[in-house]
Structure 1
């Protein structure tokens, strides 16, 4: 069974990364904030393996 909050966080980070790189149109600040919120929500309800990936996603967002 997949964790929908984890999936949303992954998609939000991917979108924010696309906006930051210019390959997608959108508000960079808003995309980053949505990704941060999604990461925060996902972290509380995730497995250890998912948390490790969420930390990687967080690092990506921090670098944008």
Structure 2
């Protein structure tokens, strides 16, 4: 099954990437929170993936 918090963080980032307009800011904030929650409870490999997801969120913010 895997790490639930890690999976939720990945899903939150995907939802943020699909959002637009006013909803985008809220979805990015939710995704950031999910990433933060997941980070402490992940393996080093998962942490690398979370770091990549964080970079994707940063790119969304600059749009």
Q: Give TM-score scaled by structure 1 length.
A: 0.88
Question: How far apart, CA to CA, are the structure 1 residues paired with 2:17 and 2:25?
Answer: 11
Aligned to 2:26: 30
Measured on the aligned residues, the alpha-carbon RMSD in Å equals 1.5
Deviation at 1:53, TM superposition (A): 0.2
- How do 1:7-18 residues align onto structure 2 when only pairs under 5 Å count? 7-18=7-18
Aligned to 1:40: 36
Deviation at 1:6, TM superposition (A): 0.1
Aligned to 1:60: 56
Gaps of 5+ in 2: none
Question: How far apart, CA to CA, are the structure 1 residues paired with 2:30 and 2:12?
Answer: 7
Question: How far apart, CA to CA, are the structure 2 residues paired with 1:42 and 1:12?
Answer: 11
Give the length in aligned residue pairs.
Answer: 60
Question: How far apart, CA to CA, are the structure 2 residues paired with 1:44 and 1:30?
Answer: 23
Gaps of 5+ in 1: none
Runs in 1 of length 4+ with deviation above 6 angstroms? none
